[in-house]
Amino acid sequence: MVFMVLSTIYVLVFPTLAGSMTGYISVMKAFVKDRSGSIIPFENFNYVAYIIHDGQRVNLTADYIIPYADTANAKSKQDPMASSPSPDCPDPGDKICSLKNAASHYVSNYGFYGLDDVNTTWEIDGVYLEPPALNISAFYLTYYTPPSNNLSDNRLFGNGWVDPRTGQRPFNDSARLTWTANGQLFSIDDIKANGACQPMMNAYEWGFSFVQAILNAIIMTAWTIGLWLLWLAAQYKLPLQREQEVAKGWRAVSYLAETMRRQFDEAGINPQSLREKPLKQEINKYLNGGDISFIAESPEKSQLSLGHGLLLWFKQNKWWCLVFFLLLLGTGLSQRPVLYPLFATVYGMLMAMALVDGVASRILVILPFMIVSLFGLLFALLYVT
Ligand SMILES: *[C@@H]1O[C@H](CO)[C@@H](O)[C@H](O)[C@H]1NC(C)=O
Ligand SMILES: *[C@@H]1O[C@H](CO)[C@@H](O)[C@H](O)[C@H]1NC(C)=O
Ligand SMILES: *[C@@H]1O[C@H](CO)[C@@H](O)[C@H](O)[C@H]1NC(C)=O
Ligand SMILES: *[C@@H]1O[C@H](CO)[C@@H](O)[C@H](O)[C@H]1NC(C)=O
Ligand SMILES: *[C@@H]1O[C@H](CO)[C@@H](O)[C@H](O)[C@H]1NC(C)=O
Alpha helices in 29-180 (DSSP H): 95-110
Give the mutation target among 88, 101, 150 for probing the ligand 4 site: most ligand atoms within 8 A of CB: 150
DSSP codes, 223-273:
HHHHHHHHHHHHHHHSTTTT-SS---THHHHHHHHHHHHHHHHHHT--GGG
Does the pLDDT at position 312 exceed 90? no
**Which of 52, 57, 58, 59 to probe ligand 1 with, by most ligand atoms within 8 A of CB?**
59
Mean pLDDT along residues 81-106: 81
Which residue's CA is the closest to the ligand 3 atom numbered 4? 53
Q: Would you state the pLDDT for residue 243?
A: 63
What 3-state DSSP class applies to 8?
helix
Q: Is pLDDT of 53 > 90?
A: yes
Ligand 1 site, residue 125, Cβ cutoff 6 A: yes
**Among 355, 358, 356, 326, CA closest to 342:** 326
pLDDT greater than 90 at residue 341: no
Ligand 2 pocket residue status of 119, Cβ below 6 Å? yes
The amino acid that residue 117 corresponds to is D
* pLDDT number for residue 73: 75
Residue 48 and residue 156 in contact, taking contact as beta carbons nearer than 8 Å? no
- Is it the case that residue 151 has pLDDT exceeding 70? no
Q: Where are the domains of the chain?
A: 29-200, 244-295, 317-385
CB-CB contact of 134 with 54 (8 Å): yes
Residue-averaged pLDDT of the chain: 83
* Per-residue pLDDT at 294 exceeds 70: no
Among residues 378, 375, 317, which one has the least CA distance to residue 344?
375
What integer pLDDT is reported at residue 147 of this predicted model?
Answer: 47
Whole-number Å distance, alpha carbon 109 to ligand 4 midpoint, is: 18
Of 46-50, 126-130, 236-240, the range with the lowest mean pLDDT is: 236-240
- Helical residues (DSSP H) of the chain, grouped into ranges: 2-21, 95-110, 188-194, 210-237, 250-267, 276-286, 299-302, 306-316, 318-334, 342-355, 359-379
Contact 44, 180 (CB under 8 A): no
CA torsion sign for 278, 281, 286, 292 is: positive
Contact indicator for 58, 124 with CB cutoff of 8 Å = yes
Q: Would you state the pLDDT for residue 51?
A: 95
**Rounded distance, CA 47 to CA 62, Å?**
19
CB-based contact 159:142 (threshold 8 Å):
yes
Using one digit for the tens of pLDDT, what is the confidence trace for 107-150?
988 989 999 889 999 988 888 988 889 999 999 888 755 545 55
Compute the CA torsion angle 259, 263, 265, 266 (nearest 10 deg): 140
Asked whether 131 lines ligand 2 (CB < 6 A), one says yes
Per-residue pLDDT for 237 more than 70?
A: no
Q: Distance from the CA of 150 to the center of ligand 4, in angstroms?
A: 6
182 lines ligand 1 (CB under 6 A): no
Please tell me whether the overall predicted TM-score, pTM, comes out greater than 0.95 for this model.
no
Count the neighbouring beta carbons within 10 Å of the beta carbon of residue 318.
Answer: 10
Mean pLDDT along residues 284-289: 79
Task: Give CA–CA dist 282/95, Å, rounded.
Answer: 116
> Looking at residues 257-286, what average pLDDT do you find?
84
